[in-house]
Amino acid sequence: MMSLKNINPTQTESWKNLESHFKEIKNVEMKSLFQKDKNRKENFTVAFNEFTLDYSKNRITEETLQYLYKLADESELKDAIEKYFGGERINVTENRAVLHTALRNRNNNAIKVDGKDVMPEVRKALEKMNTFSEAVINGTYKGYSGKKILDIVNIGIGGSDLGPRMVVDALQYYKNHLNTHFISNIDGDHVTEILKNLNPETTLFVIVSKTFTTQETLTNAMTVKNWFLSQEFGTKESDIKHNFVAVSTNLSNVKEFGIADENVFTMWDWVGGRYSLWSAVGLSISLAVGYGHFNSFLKGAFEMDEHFKNTPFKKNIPVVLALLSIWYNNFFKTESEVVIPFSQYLEKLPPFLQQLSMESNGKSTDRNGDSIDYQTGNIIWGNTGTNVQHAFMQLVHQGTKIIPVDFIGFEESLHGLKDHHEKLMANFYAQAEALYAGKTKDEVYLDLKFQGNVDKINQLLPFKVFEGNKPSNAILIKKLTPENLGALIAMYEHKTFVQGVIWNIYSFDQFGVELGKELAHKFLKK
């Protein structure tokens, strides 16, 4: 079987080098590194299209990076990337290829799974999304009573919810007149609250479930169907085909639910749930912002794919991010990473990244089937700046833990309120600076003295000191466009991939979610 190589990272020469190098560097002040290298910021910055990653505020030297790149080489990352893009069955435990990248491929080359080019089917599926979304948006597609569609309800959970929900929110600025809603939780409050204000005549329900067996989605879909068929509306079974569509690989279950064949959007087993927003799972995105923007979103992701595939590791944004993350997770033993987008539009990015990263890399068995004795997947959390500064940043600045941060900012705003954007970005830079530079006793002393707080100096001084030397990455993007959003998500997908390769785990299964599901069925029967 062609699979990723089985290499225990801790047995590599570079890992051993990193362990001894860590002892030398763990207490080094980043400030001294900046003093030694006047070009540190430029030296530790990589650019790609409208992205710039400044990773100079990390506890690394050129030597650290050399060992990390060597670790990537020793882990045969290059070979893994080729297999990933090449359609090989690298998801060994589910015997599947991993080809979400084919969904956004813009090359004319064939992408083969078991010798068969998947691209014609991909193009056909995208074309169907295009035609359907445009008909709904321009009103030629009608609900059962002949009225135009005004509301879209996505029913799905996990990858069939988090991706589309996040992107629809993130691209709100580009949105058309359709109202989009999402039902995911099995908690009946969720579906009840959403249905409360809907008119069945003008609502399109998009049931998204790759397997069409997920308890939450089927329960919610059934409740919606019963509501739709309730007597007060005078609807009948044959009306369902006008107001319900499905996205799934399980065509027989979809049919049994009552959805017409022509209303089914297919996907493939080589698209993992948490990587599926590029497929018809993204139908609510295409409905909400139009296929043109959806297409640009795919294009942006494709460009990040090309960057990831073809750029040497040193200049490769996802690779650099993954290696830094491994450095902190496995050597500094940090437990979590915080992602802070300085854009309200990206409020739902952290929960999306939680599934992407934690469902992929939360594993403790290696590719040889052995138990792992080093740390793998880290905890991802976050929220938007500046809100977080009035919430959890206290702990990041002055707490006992090292929590590496990804700050994501945009040079230009979409709204055009100059004053707001200047203040927002001043905070973006200030947070990274505060984490890096901290505030010494002397600085605090002078401050208190200046404020005339002489009596309180001794009492307050220790509480006002900021240790500093806390790591962060600054990801600066020109503007929140569909292209750049696509590239940003693809960037995190590839970061997750690189980490999984080096940790020697299978990133594309999720058996860890099964036990709870089984037990819930047992409890239900009691």
Contact pattern for ligand F6P over residues 157 through 176, marking x by CB under 6 A: xxxx----------------
Nearer to ligand F6P, 199 or 213 (CB): 213
Nearer to ligand F6P, 21 or 210 (CB): 210
Nearer to ligand F6P, 285 or 444 (CB): 285
Q: How far is the CB of 307 from ligand F6P (least distance, A)?
A: 26
Window contacting ligand F6P (CB under 6 A); options: 89-97, 205-213, 260-268, 366-374: 205-213
Nearer to ligand F6P, 259 or 480 (CB): 259
Q: How far is the CB of 158 from ligand F6P (least distance, A)?
A: 3
* Contact with ligand F6P (CB under 6 A) among 274, 397, 421, 470: 274
Window contacting ligand F6P (CB under 6 A); options: 180-188, 208-216, 255-263, 392-400: 208-216
CB atoms within 10 A of CB 427: 18
Nearer to ligand F6P, 126 or 356 (CB): 356
Window contacting ligand F6P (CB under 6 A); options: 84-92, 180-188, 211-219, 483-491: 211-219
Map the footprint of ligand F6P across residues 480-519, applying CB under 6 A.
510, 513
383 in helix, strand or coil? coil
Contact pattern for ligand F6P over residues 331 through 370, marking x by CB under 6 A: ----------------------------x-----------
Nearer to ligand F6P, 362 or 468 (CB): 362
CB atoms within 10 A of CB 88: 21
Structure tokens at 43: 């030296």
Q: How far is the CB of 99 from ligand F6P (least distance, A)?
A: 16
CB atoms within 10 A of CB 394: 11
Which candidate in 196, 390, 522, 525 is catalytic? 390
- Note if 333 is an active site residue: no
In eight-state DSSP terms, residue 370 is P
Q: How many residues bind ligand F6P (CB under 6 A)?
A: 14
Nearer to ligand F6P, 206 or 323 (CB): 206
DSSP result, 88-139: ---BGGGTB---GGGGG--SSS--EETTEE-HHHHHHHHHHHHHHHHHHHHT
* Contact with ligand F6P (CB under 6 A) among 61, 180, 184, 217: 217
Map the footprint of ligand F6P across residues 140-159, applying CB under 6 A.
157-159
- By beta carbon distance, the residue nearest ligand F6P is 273
* Contact with ligand F6P (CB under 6 A) among 273, 385, 409, 438: 273
* Contact with ligand F6P (CB under 6 A) among 45, 145, 211, 266: 211
Structure tokens at 69: 């790149």
Strand arrangement of the beta sheet that strand 179-183 belongs to: 179-183, 151-155, 203-208, 244-248, 264-266
Please check whether residue 264 is in contact with residue 254, taking contact to mean a CB–CB distance below 8 angstroms.
Answer: yes
Structure tokens at 305: 């794919």
Q: How far is the CB of 54 from ligand F6P (least distance, A)?
A: 33
Q: How far is CA 88 from the centre of its chain?
A: 23
- Note if 517 is an active site residue: yes
Structure tokens at 201: 């005549």
Q: How far is the CB of 363 from ligand F6P (least distance, A)?
A: 14
Contact pattern for ligand F6P over residues 300 through 329, marking x by CB under 6 A: ------------------------------
**CA atoms of 400 and 11, how far apart (whole Å):** 31
Q: How far is the CB of 347 from ligand F6P (least distance, A)?
A: 20
- Look at the block and give the residue holding tokens 């010798």: 115
Nearer to ligand F6P, 326 or 505 (CB): 505
Which candidate in 216, 359, 483, 493 is catalytic? 359
Helix residue spans in 13-105 (DSSP H): 13-25, 30-36, 40-43, 62-74, 77-85
**CA atoms of 497 and 319, how far apart (whole Å):** 9
Contact pattern for ligand F6P over residues 227 through 256, marking x by CB under 6 A: ------------------------------
Nearest to 85, CA basis, from 273, 309, 299 = 309
Please check whether residue 368 is in contact with residue 6, taking contact to mean a CB–CB distance below 8 angstroms.
Answer: yes
| Stretch (H or E) spanning 179 | strand 179-183
**What does each C-alpha distance from 203 to 52, 169, 199, 222, 243 come to in angstroms?**
41, 19, 6, 16, 7
* Contact with ligand F6P (CB under 6 A) among 209, 360, 386, 469: 209
Q: How far is CA 267 from the centre of its chain?
A: 20
Please check whether residue 420 is in contact with residue 485, taking contact to mean a CB–CB distance below 8 angstroms.
Answer: no
Nearer to ligand F6P, 96 or 274 (CB): 274
* 3-state SS track over 289-314: HCHHHHHHHHHHHHHHHHHHHHCCHH
| 264-266/244-248 β-pairing | parallel
Beta bridge partner(s), residue 154: 182, 206
Contact flag: residue 214 with ligand F6P (CB under 6 A) = yes
Residue numbers at the binding site for ligand F6P (CB under 6 A) = 157-160, 209-211, 214, 217, 273-274, 359, 510, 513
Tell me which residues are annotated as active site.
359, 390, 517
